[in-house]
Structure 1
């Protein structure tokens, strides 16, 4: 197995760092899946058992900044475990990678490669700018675990749930402020939405009932933009609400960690079962599943 990537564009390095920081806010450990075209960060929680799951796809081919397309990695070389299974799966602690990237944000060149030292490592090598002829190089060795081939089936892209309603989210900062305040009232929050662009966030306890209303949010037309689902499963009556009661801390964790600044933010609701949050931005897509609670 071999992996080597090289980044010289500061804008993309900062973008890459923000993505990793977002991942580190969502999970302590995850699977980094490397292919010839993409990097995937996967958290394969069992939603049926109350765990969250995550799928983040980061393309290594094209990065758009100021409407100019450039290569994400100036160099990208990957050789998997075999020609038939040309992938690499590593268990990583994203916080360690995030810390390493934060220390080298002004680097001229950053190289990331898979190495074998005292254990398998993702080695980050950064050449920093200097006023003298002597170069400054920082090296971070981030321990990882190689995931055996027999377990790869657990880290495939999740299928699109058979949702009842799909709706665009309000501004994430606004939504975060609302959830932060509601967290002081209850440990659980009900998210409900319909196909008329209405979404409500509700807290209901024996002592208090609070609802925040959002209107005119819009409903994505699946198949036109995302090609993930044809939308045939959506509720036909546009005023009927689909809802899910979730652990408010899990939703707050998702909202607190966002540094991707998505161009699109959406939510699919499987009535009383799960909410499926999706963020899209240029070369990044992030899916996050939060199970409903009784």
Structure 2
């Protein structure tokens, strides 16, 4: 397996991912990979990808979807997995090697500026496009990877109201802490930045795509193996975690009461399989024109 590397563009969002989020995502990999899989597994059988195809996986994170795509295209095909965080990609490289998948290459780079060649049949992203600093530029770059007639498919979150696994804990914490200020460090536009169907359609059209289609995906999402795991996950990541992190000393002072409040609400969703809440996403399919 090739392990090519390219320099990631230096911007504040990429720096935030590497400085703040990588350690937390790594700690909660069991939730992020396991939970997000419910959304990708719903659409993988229907993806417009064939044996022998060349594919790109944008914002591939820990590399699990890139490895699945590599299996789909088979030894005659290939997959390029790109992410701005090489620490994530190291998991993908190790997993691909352990599983004997040799037709996937992982590259550290900012997709918005990556010099793609238009040689790919398919471009995929599972929750990797919502954090583009410039969404149109990122989507246009993805299109530049495709041959004429090539297909791009991405999964993005619908609104926070459609995703109580993130929305409910945020509301709980906001009862105890102030919302983040305008100068808060962030990972980019945020997980719900592509929730609006009309807006994303316009972004895709400006980026040069046609034949744009949306499909709603609803799925249960496990947010913790236990109640303590779920509470710690919410304090570390997502909208609730952002509120907690940015509150600083106030959060530390109110930690015990915040934990108690989260346990009370999350405990209502505790099952034999862990804490499970509902989630909702869009599968968005678009074509690079012929």
Q: Settle same-fold status: TM greater than 0.5.
A: no
User: Counting strand residues as a fraction of each chain, which structure ranks higher?
Assistant: 1
Higher gyration radius (CA): 1
TM, length-normalised to structure 2:
0.28
TM-score, reference length from structure 1: 0.28
Q: Which has the higher helix share?
A: 2
